[in-house]
Amino acid sequence: MTTAILPLAFGSEEFRLLTAIVIGFVFGLSLEGAGFGNARKLAAQFYLYDMTVFKVMFTAVLVAMVGLYTLVGAGVVDLTAIWINPTYMWAQVVGGFLMGVGFIMAGLCPGTSVVSLSSGRYDGIVAFAGIMVGSLVFALAVDWFPQLEWLYEHGRHVSLLPHVFHLSFPVVMLGVVVIAVAGFVGAEKVEQIYRARYGAIELTPPTTRRSPRVKFALGGALVAVALVSLAWKQAPPQATPVRARPLAPIDLAEAIIAAEPDVMILDLRSQREGGGIPGAFAVTDSTAIPVLAGAIPETRVVVYDEDGFLKELPATWPPTLDYYYLEGGLGGWRTEVLTPATAAGFGLEQQAVTERQQQIAAFFSGSAVATTVVAPPPLLPSGGSHKKKERVGGC
Amino acid sequence: MKPKSYWNPYVAGVVLGLTLLSAFLVAGQGLGSSAFAKRTVALVGTEVAPEWTATNPALGRYVEGGANPMKDWLVIEVIGVLLGGFIGSVIGGRFKPTIEKGPRISVGGRMAYALGGGAVMGFGAALARGCTSGQALSGGALLATGSWAFMLMVFAGGYAMAYFVRRQWT
């Protein structure tokens, strides 16, 4: 397994990014060479008199698929190091249909609109602007409509066709090749029939003047330089306030016994087997936000997971939120609160500590001793010592 | 200069396929295009409404931990596409500032379709997490199940809509 030498490992992300410009350049060359800068040629796919879109796309899929999985099979390529599109079935079915509708309306898809505009086509510029508008509208809509967010987020899993059909990779690839080749033969026949009706796509007449080409080149170079410099611009150093503070399990136990009203406990475990901490809200990363939005502003939030590795909140959470993380997570809770070790030593202090530990353990195990537990003074720092801002809706 | 013919589609497909393969092998990921649009929206979003952008389900991951949304392989790749398309069209004599449209539609009508169609595509590509490059081509070559569903639906959507916009093209 250690023979896999690809994909290449780069020491720095900057160097990996440099490969993008070369690969993108050849990508652009081949799209333009195929005629995909011309919206009429792309649209013709859907009126059957020029099937170049199908031919180019499926040839490319075949070459890349056979090449990649042959190398994976030979142990040269580590498939786990390659990013594979996860499947979100309904989002992809609906999004794909919309993509097709927009494709025939604009005559271009996102990638081809780039070569269309860079080969001088004004309709390519407008289509690309439209794509940005659509992306923005989606970002707004997904915030407004929970149904759309559900569609967008629902059912993520990584699935490959060989797993779905319970067939080996070579068999599936062979199937794809056979279907594609049959498609190529069919496409040639269909083209012949429909070309008689519409005629072939003629090439755009040559440019006679030089100036627009120079203007485009200068404009394009300017845009490219601006974009590259944007990408290389260092992100401004974020003033990161201390958001996460540790909290010992025993202190949390005391706070629960004291029934302090301003403590909110969030259970962030990925799998909730066995009991959690009493009074905790079981939430996931994404459902935590609405829970937090409904919290009283001065609430102290305590989060816990299985084993206390959780020291950073998900980035999608409100950035101004301060919180406590439970030391040792639920494991720490079990060993320190539910089944405490007897404190070492025989002094009065140790005896008092041990007694208190037993009282607390009894409280949480629901035994009769719980009645003797009295509320001690709060051990948590007062909630007023650190200010929290309400989550502000932007836009 | 007389424009040179477009490449043979199968030759173009092989070059495109080898490019995609090299992206997998060198960068560990496939090609893409719509990411550029989404990340540009995220960039503008961080300037205009940073908190909304950071918590937005569609944009948040691009700016996670204060990351620069434009510092991404796909963004640089699209800049390469821009250059490749320009150089290729100039060398082939196919560069021409013009508007591609059928004979039966006005310039204004064509531009309205380009903008509207672009917006529908942008929405669909954002929902599906990729476009014809990122999903159909790259995910297709990886044999990803959802990407194949996406690819079939792109063709379904295109053929379903083609009749209604035929004045634009034929």
pLDDT tens per residue, range A134-162 = 999 999 999 999 999 999 998 888 899 99
Residues of B in contact with A34 (CB under 8 A): 6-7, 9, 12-13, 16
- Helix H or strand E segment including A245: strand A244-247
Tell whether ipTM is more than 0.90: yes
CB A119 within 8 A of CB B96: yes
Q: What residues of chain B lie within 8 A of the CB of A176, using their CB?
A: 143
| Residue A388: predicted pLDDT | 35
From CA A139, how far away is CA B47, in angstroms rounded? 15
In this prediction, residue B59 carries a pLDDT of 92
d(CA A282, CA A275): 11
Residue A95: closest CA among A41, A135, A62, A124: A135
Q: What pLDDT was estimated at residue A350?
A: 75
| Low-confidence residues in chain A, pLDDT < 70 | 1-3, 11, 199-211, 233-244, 274, 285-298, 309-322, 342-347, 366-395
Taking the C-alpha atoms of residue A280 and residue A302, their distance in angstroms, rounded to an integer, is: 9
Task: Flag if A61 and B80 touch (Cβ within 8 Å).
Answer: no
Does the beta carbon of B104 lie under 8 angstroms from any beta carbon of chain A? no
- What does pTM read for this prediction? 0.69
Q: Which chain A residues touch B96 with a CB distance below 8 Å? A: 119-121, 204-207, 212
Residue contact B81–A83, C-beta within 8 A: no
| Mutation target vs A (from B1, B2, B6; most A CBs, 10 A cutoff) | B6
pLDDT, tens only, B32-63: 999 999 999 999 998 899 889 988 999 988 98
Q: Do the beta carbons of residue B27 and residue A7 sit within 8 Å?
A: yes
Cβ-in-10-Å burial (0-12, 13-18, 19+) of A384 comes to exposed
Q: Which of residues 54-83 of B touch A (CB under 8 A)?
A: 54-61, 64-68, 70-83
Q: State whether residue A127 is helix, strand or coil.
A: helix
Q: Are the Cβ atoms of B15 and A33 closer than 8 angstroms?
A: yes
